[in-house]
C-alpha cells in the first residue's frame, strides 16, 4: 500500500502537467513580427553591427601593434587599440566585459 500511493500521486501530477502544457498554447497570441519591426529591435541590431565594426578595428590595431613590437610605431598602434577598446566599453559591447 505504501508504494501504491506515491505512484498514484506521481501519475496524477504527470497528467495534470500534461493537460496544462497542452492547453497553454491556446492562450498565446500569434507572432505578428512586431518585435522585429520595433525600435527596440532596430537599436539592438544597430548596436550589434556597430560593436562588430569596433571589434574589427580593435583587432586590426592590435595586430599592427604586435607586428611593430619593440619599436616606436608600436606605441601609436597600441594607443589606437586602447581608444577602440574604450569605444567598445562606452557602447556597452559584450566583448568588453
Q: For each of the chain's 97 residues, which pLDDT tens digit applies?
A: 455 666 677 777 777 676 555 555 667 788 888 888 888 877 777 777 888 999 999 999 999 999 999 898 899 999 999 999 999 999 888 888 8
pLDDT of res. 58: 95
What does the alpha-carbon distance between residue 45 and residue 56 come to, in Å, rounded to a whole number? 17
What is the value of pTM for the model shown?
A: 0.55
Residue 95 per-residue DSSP state: G
Domain residue limits, the chain: 39-97
pLDDT recorded at residue 67: 93
Amino acid at each position: 500500500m505504501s508504494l501504491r500511493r506515491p505512484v498514484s500521486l506521481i501519475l496524477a501530477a504527470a497528467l495534470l502537467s500534461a493537460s496544462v502544457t497542452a492547453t497553454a498554447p491556446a492562450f498565446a497570441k500569434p507572432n505578428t513580427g512586431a518585435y522585429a519591426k520595433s525600435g527596440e529591435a532596430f537599436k539592438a541590431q544597430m548596436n550589434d553591427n556597430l560593436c562588430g565594426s569596433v571589434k574589427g578595428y580593435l583587432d586590426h590595431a592590435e595586430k599592427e601593434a604586435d607586428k611593430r613590437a619593440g619599436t616606436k610605431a608600436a606605441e601609436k598602434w597600441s594607443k589606437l587599440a586602447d581608444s577602440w577598446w574604450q569605444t567598445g566599453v562606452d557602447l556597452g559591447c559584450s566583448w568588453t566585459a
